[in-house]
Amino acid sequence: MRKPLIAGNWKMFKTTEEAKAFAASFKKIYESSDIQVAICAPFTQLGALKEAFKGTDIKVGAQNMHFAEEGAFTGEISAAMLQEIGVDYCIIGHSERRQLFAETDETVNKKLHKAFLAGITPILCVGESLEERDADRAFDVVKSQLVKGLEEITAAQAEVLVIAYEPIWAIGTGRTASPEQANEMCGFIRDVIDGLYGEIVADKTIIQYGGSVKPSNATEIMNMEEIDGALVGGASLVPEEFIQIVNF
């Protein structure tokens, strides 16, 4: 059985002191369960969050990383730097990275390989724009992102990979894909994984939905058969809201 993963993506929010305050508040209302929980925070907060969540099963993730081991890449962070502080997850290929920072399927693939080598579980983001969906290209776009992004990724790696389906038109817009739309695409993603690696791997791969997930819609989304959790944006910034999604 797949254990759902609810991961918060804080994007570029919170100082380290604010992150510590969140952790203190969240630990008071969090109870361990069959739901996996992670906070993906800015680089400067990761060490503090690892320390704050010590002794709990709450995991910590980064939002990006570089594929090189080291070098003249001003402003970048390597997998080894994340590994050193015990980061559990890393979001790779988020649509904001693709749109604003020229991330490509090729760089996504390189980052996936490097994350696995460092023992960091990648959260691979895929999703279509509104124009692509309206042009009936959503499934083709997502399949292409998966096939190119997963090039030379092994079946053993794919088993532990997390995939987040995030329709670009539903990120930070307040507009959410209907549960049926999200479930359909997550099922399609599982079919693509089945085609690449076989049914056993596909059955083990966690596939999340992300895109304006909030307490008011979390239960309906999480109860869909093919959806194994959520990548949560704004609602993950407030402990009282995030716990409602975790406890869907």
Q: Is 14 annotated as a binding residue?
A: no
* Residues 107, 111, 116: CA angle, nearest 5 degrees: 155
User: Residue 39: what residue type?
Assistant: I
Q: Is 211 annotated as a binding residue?
A: no
Q: Is 174 annotated as a binding residue?
A: no
Q: Is 214 annotated as a binding residue?
A: no
Q: Is 172 annotated as a binding residue?
A: yes
Catalytic residue among 66, 94, 103, 132: 94
Sign of CA dihedral 188, 194, 197, 199: positive
Helix, strand, or coil (residue 27): helix
Q: Is 212 annotated as a binding residue?
A: yes
Q: Which two tokens stand for residue 36?
A: 């996996």
For residues 195-208, one letter each, b for 16 or more C-beta atoms within 10 angstroms of the residue's C-beta and e for the rest, the string is: ebbeeebbebbbbb
Catalytic residue among 128, 132, 166, 241: 166
**H/E run at residue 162:** strand 162-165
For residues 79-110, one letter each, b for 16 or more C-beta atoms within 10 angstroms of the residue's C-beta and e for the rest, the string is: bebbeeeebbbbbbbbbbbbeeeebebebbbb
94 among known catalytic residues: yes
User: Residue 151: what residue type?
Assistant: E
Backbone angles phi, psi at 12, to 5 degrees: -100, 65
Q: Is 10 annotated as a binding residue?
A: yes
| CA separation for the pair 138, 98 (Å, rounded) | 16
- The dihedral formed by the CA atoms of 78, 9, 133 and 195, expressed in degrees to the nearest 10: 60
Residues flagged as binding site for substrate: 9-11, 172, 212, 233-234
Residues flagged as binding site: 9-11, 172, 212, 233-234
Active site residues: 94, 166
